[in-house]
Amino acid sequence: MRVLVVEDEAFLAEALQAGLRREGMAVDIAGDGATALESVAVNEYDVVVLDRDLPGVHGDDVCRQLVAGRAGCRILMLTAAGSLADKVDGLRLGSDDYLVKPFDFPELVARLHALRRRGAAAHPPVLTYADLRLDPARRDARRGDHSLRLTRKEFAVLELLLRADGAVLSAEHLLEKAWDAHADPFTNAVRITISTLRRKLGDPPILHTATGVGYYLAATT
């Protein structure tokens, strides 16, 4: 899952980035509304975590522009404005969820996973394909009766492949969704991660390469 945290308090933004990365998410930061809009214009995010009281372009205006521009991302307002009227206004602006500061971090993580599942094609909380089973919320991955000890990037890539349900995903798509904006577009990180993930998944092979195109899951008989 790729997330943009829009928060002008640098300490909080960096803490959220570190915490969400530990949950296996790719996380970018924007410290003001204008930077947030620029980031969404060039990157594909699953969820934007949006503070309302931002310098420059107000968070409400960021929300309006994202909704009007059909950015395709879900919006979670994370703000100190916690009255009922504030919540109603935020949801009416087009945000998909609303969480008031101070908040419990596990609740934020759970809400992000819930928003991620609200795609055009609904996915169950636990993803399965053949004998693979992956629970994003619990950070648990298994093949058959065996637990898989995956790195955060391996887990993120496997989640993307499971959500694709057998469709081929390009290296560029995996880099866009599982790494953040600082990733070198010419890096071998995707190829290396696929290689180690394929080894950990074991036999019979289930992770395949479509030469020159990308990677996909397919059970062998």
According to the model, what pLDDT value does residue 122 have?
44
Q: Which residues pair with 30 in a beta bridge?
A: 6
Instruction: Name the residue type at position 193.
Output: T
The residue among 18, 14, 61 whose CA lies nearest residue 37 is 61
φ/ψ of 42, rounded to 5, equals -115, -10
pLDDT band at 186 (very low <50, low <70, confident <90, very high): low
Contact residues for 117 (Cβ-Cβ < 8 A; gap 6+): 123, 124, 125
| pLDDT tens column, 28-38 | 999 999 999 99
* Residue bearing the bigger pLDDT, 85 or 184: 85
How far, in Å, CA of 150 to CA of 158, rounded? 9
Domains and CATH numbers, the chain: 2-116 (3.40.50.2300), 127-217 (1.10.10.10)
Mean pLDDT throughout 177-206?
85
Confidence class for position 44, pLDDT limits 50, 70, 90:
confident
> What b/e string do you get for 102-132 counting C-beta neighbours within 10 Å, with b at 16 or more?
eeeeeebbebbbbbbbeeeeeeeeebebeeb
Average model confidence (pLDDT) across the chain: 89
- Residue 29 is predicted with a pLDDT of 94
Confidence of residue 184 (pLDDT cuts 50, 70, 90): low
Q: What are the tens digits of pLDDT across the range 78-134?
A: 999 888 999 999 898 889 999 999 999 999 999 998 888 775 444 557 889 999 999
Q: pLDDT tier at 217 (50, 70, 90 boundaries)?
A: very high
Contacts of 130 (CB under 8 A, 6+ apart): 206, 217, 219
Question: Beta-carbon neighbour count of residue 4 at 10 Å?
Answer: 24
Residue 185: its pLDDT value, please?
63
CB-facing half-sphere around the CA of 197: CA atoms within 13 A: 27
Q: Inform me whether the pLDDT recorded for 187 exceeds 90.
A: no
Rounded to whole angstroms, how far apart are CA atoms 208 and 221? 14
Query: What whole-number distance in Å separates Cα of residue 96 and Cα of residue 159?
Result: 23
Tokens of 140: 């648990």
Would you state the pLDDT for residue 221?
A: 53
